[in-house]
Every structure is written in C-alpha cells, then in structure tokens.
Amino acid sequence: MTSSPDTKQDKSYIDKLALILINSNRQQLVARSYDRTVFYTPGGKREAGESDQEALRRECIEELSVDLLTSTKTPATIQSCGTFEAQAYGKSEGTKVRLTCFRVTPRVAELELERLVKASEEVEELKWIDSSFDREKLTLTGRMILDDLKRKGLID
C-alpha cells in the first residue's frame, strides 16, 4: 500500500534506542563498529513486538555482553532520560535518527555495569569518554548527548 503525497511525512526517521552508561570517573560509554570511524551511543532498533526496555536489553546483550536487569547484583531498573534527533550518520541528507535514551538505576547498579561491559563480536571498540573527546569522532546525536550530559553535570 502506498500513501499519497498529502499523508506522507516530510522527513524519514530511523527510530532507535540507546543506553547512556556513566562510569565512576564521570565518563560516558561509546562504541565503534567495524569499518566505522565514529563512535555511537550503544543501542539499536526495536524488533517486532518488543517494548523499548526489551529491545534495549537485547541490544546491550548483543553489543555489550550484559543484560541490564540481570547482570548486576543490585536490582536494576531502566529509566528514560531523553530523546535526541539529528541527521543520521552515513545516510542520505534529510534522513534523521531519533534516539530515545535510557539509563540504569540506581547508580550503584550502573556502576556495577562499568566493570561488566565488554565489546561483543559486532563491536570493534568500546571507549569511556568525557566532554573533551574529539567531537569529530562522534555521530551528531552522540555530540548532542555528550553536550547534554556535560550541561547536566553528569560527566566531566
């Protein structure tokens, strides 16, 4: 079924979920895929029938080798912490990504994850960054998130 021009949206959006993980040194976790030069906030797309939390948990198992709710000794929850939109990295001009971000709470559970995350086979590199990180090595949404975390006093 095709839609008429009147009902078609003006912009294309890629809808993704992301985990903002902050370590004990007040740095944010970012990841880089093979054959890419930029880092992104770990996460991905929902599969059919998944809630945001289910999708984020699955993506973190796939990318970071941890289950956000069962890998920590401290009982954890997943809390929404903002949405960011920008030009999608590597996509045609006008294609936007909408990144809905989440954090693990309480803070003690988030800190436990710091020691547990490791790059899976689909991730070439994980890095902990602060606001001095080279912005050219981040996606546009990554830059927005970094600025937001710095503004909120969550990272150095």
Average per-residue pLDDT for the chain:
90
Determine the distance from the C-alpha atom of residue 53 to the mean position of all C-alpha atoms in its chain, rounded to a whole number. 13
For the entire predicted model, the pTM comes to 0.88
How confident is the model over 71-102, as pLDDT tens digits? 999 999 999 999 999 888 878 788 899 999 99
The pLDDT assigned to 7 comes to 36
| Distances 109 to 31, 77, 79, 117 between C-alpha atoms, Å | 20, 9, 12, 12
Domain 12-151, architecture per CATH: Alpha-Beta Complex (3.90)
Q: What is the pLDDT of residue 142?
A: 95
pLDDT at 87: 85
DSSP 2-29: ---TTTS-SSEEEEEEEE--B-TTS-EE
Task: Show me where the domains of the chain are located.
Answer: 12-151
Mean pLDDT of 16-22: 97
Is residue 48 predicted with pLDDT exceeding 60?
yes
> pLDDT-derived band of residue 5, with 50, 70 and 90 as boundaries?
very low
Which stretch of 9-13, 34-38, 52-56, 90-94 has the lowest confidence by average pLDDT? 9-13
Does 8 have pLDDT greater than 80?
Answer: no
